[in-house]
Structure 1
Amino acid sequence: MPLALVTNDDGIDAAGLHALAAAALEAGLDVIVAAPAEQASGASAALSAVRRDGRTVIDRRELPGLDVPAWAVQAQPGHIVAAALNGWFDPRPDLVLSGINHGANVGRAILHSGTVGAALTAKISDTRALAVSLAVDLHPTGVRHWKTAAGLVAPVLELLFDAPDGTVLSLNVPDRPAAEVGPLRHARLAPGGAVQTRVEEVGDGGVRLSEVEVPDMPEPDTDSALLDAGHPTLTELRSVEADDGELVQKWLAGRD
């Protein structure tokens, strides 16, 4: 069976992580879990970690209702994935599953997401990855519908396993009961994200930032718009890639 590394940026105790690990098991995968010991949202693909005697600090954990090897890691998600795919585990994981994130990861603001950063770190090692996010409100109330997102993991894995090595997919799911969710749709990235960071106060010695929900209507057919309309969205993501160089080459040619 393929071996999946399950990680996240919300931390080892997050309900979304446990739901994703359970979904991976139900899909027939072997599973190992390694996730930040504490909240690491907004970490992007950072490789920072807490080290003791030169080694990243890890602790074995037991996850409620899950019989899988699990570690709490004093590190960012990108660090965890880099270690897992480059010698930590034997056998090496065949794919990375990141999430289920508490909040949507849409638009170009996914650059800052630790959930997406973990998946894109896998791409660097030519490993398939799936980032899964639940569109929880910025100030949520009531029950979170983790099972709605978890229920879409198996069908998306069918696509992922048929895709080339290094393929990275991002799945965003409305925070609704499964019966109230529309069909899965392909989506392009919106220009912004689900929330924006704004400067709330500037004073001597500090700047206060806050997160606010984006007030503008998203562009049609973007991940933000389709998600707002009740559709789960699926987007293939690229990692760091060079452009064809036309801009730089023209500039250099003009200096000759």
Structure 2
Amino acid sequence: MRALITNDDGIAAEGVRQLAIAARNAGLDVVVAAPMSESSGSSASIAIMERDGKVPVAPRELDGLAEVPVFAVDAPPAFIVLSATRGAFGPPPDVVLAGINRGSNTGRSVLHSGTVGAALTGAAHGRAALAVSLDLAGGPGERAYWETAARLAGRLLPLLSDQFAMNLNVPNLPREQVRGLREARLASFGAVQTRITEEGVGEVEAAVGEAGEAPDPDTDTALLAAGFAVVTALTPPREADVAPLRLPSYQD
């Protein structure tokens, strides 16, 4: 099985290195291709900045992965996944692993995540896919337990399917302090929300802050806050399972 490892934090982020090591240790044939710079919030965007009609790609090296091909790409992660399925970085991957993201990706706000967008792009193109995020608050001196998230990601590999993408969120805790692994539904909002703080003539001002309401206890946001690692299966874009639409006559 060949695995593409990507992220939205950029090629220099520690999370992508840790996820690549976990995939290699699980016996996968690994290639790493990630954005040259941070692409957080890029969702499934494939917008690119071309140079002479080409997207810049540069070979890199990551510590502990001397035998793994690594590429820094001047493009968002969804474009990288799409390109990989067309053979841009060697044989097309069977599996897309995105992360390990610095910060959680929970609730319906996963729609905007570049990490989750990469996984959904993989699933939309028939690849088994997993997005992995570590619930880092980003405070000064905070230790990042990458190894906890990497280990759980490795354990989920046998469950991956080309019918959906998995979204894994892991508490930033030592492995023995995580309360367990739970399947969860998406909260109606993520751990943070965006609010409009000011409207002016020709402009708006937005701020991102903690959500002001408590999520339902069986959702990913609530269970992650309670110390559980949580998994949600996400479907890529497809037709809605609804009754036939009662369309108006074209001639009316």
- Does structure 2 retain, via aligned residues, the 8 Å contact 1:125–1:166? no
Specify the alignment match of 1:180 in structure 2.
177
In 1, distance between residues paired with 2:140 and 2:86? Answer: 38
- Residue 89 of structure 1: aligned partner: 89
CA distance in 2, matches of 1:66, 1:230: 31
Q: One-letter code of the match for 1:14?
A: A
Equivalent in the alignment of 1:198: 195
- Pairing of 1:44-193 with structure 2 (within 5 A): 44-67=43-66, 68-137=68-137, 139=139, 141-160=141-160, 163=161, 165-193=162-190
C-alpha separation in 1, matches of 2:49 and 2:72:
12
| Match in the other structure for 2:33 | 34
- Deviation for aligned residue 1:105: 0.7
| Partner amino acid, structure 1, of 2:188 | P
The partner residue of 1:211 within 208, 214, 219 is 208
Q: Secondary structure at the match of 1:248?
A: coil
Structure 1 stretches of at least 4 aligned residues deviating more than 6 Å after TM superposition: none
1:105-164 residue CA offsets vs partner (Å, 9 max, x unmatched): 11111000000000000112111000000111265641111111011112100111xx3x
Q: 2:15 matched to which residue of 1?
A: 16
What count of residue pairs does the alignment treat as equivalent? 250
Shift of 1:199: 2.2
Contact 1:129 1:166 (C-alpha < 8 Å) held by counterparts: no
1:242 counterpart = 2:239: yes
Taking structure 1 as the reference length, the TM-score comes to: 0.92
Q: For residues 104 and 140 of structure 1, do their structure 2 counterparts lie closer, same or farther at Cα, with a shift above 3 Å needed?
A: farther
Q: Contact (CA 8 Å) 1:3, 1:94: kept in 2 or not? A: yes
Pairwise CA RMSD of aligned residues? 1.8
**Counterparts of 2:19 and 2:197 in 1: how far apart (Å)?**
35
8 Å Cα contact 1:138/1:213 also seen in 2: no
Give how far 1:86 is off.
1.4
Q: Which residue identity is paired with 1:137? A: A
CA deviation string 1:28-53 (max 9, x = no partner): 11111000101100000000112111
- In the superposition, the TM-score normalised over structure 2's length comes to 0.93
Deviates more, 1:224-233 or 1:131-140: 131-140
Letter in 2 for 1:26: N
Partner Cα separation in structure 2 for residue 134 and residue 44 of structure 1: 18
SS in 1 for 2:61: strand
How many angstroms apart in 2 are the aligned matches of 1:234 and 1:189? 10
Which whole-Å deviations, capped at 9, do the CAs of 1:190-244 have from their partners, x for residues lacking one? 0111111122334455433221011321101100111111110011101112223
| Letter matched to residue 41 of structure 1 | S
Residue pair 2:164, 2:236 contacting (<8 A) in 1 also: no
Query: Between the two proteins, what is the percent identity of the paired residues?
Result: 49
Q: SS in structure 2 opposite 1:23? A: helix
Larger helix fraction of residues: 1
Q: Structure 2 unaligned runs (5+)?
A: none
Matched-pair contact (CA < 8 Å) for 1:77–1:115: yes
Contact 2:33–2:70 (CA<8 Å) still a contact in 1? yes
**Is 2:227 the counterpart of 1:230?**
yes
Measured after TM superposition, the shift of residue 245 of structure 1 is 4.3
Unaligned stretches of 5+ residues in structure 1? none
> Contact conserved, 1:107 with 1:193, CA < 8 A, in 2?
yes
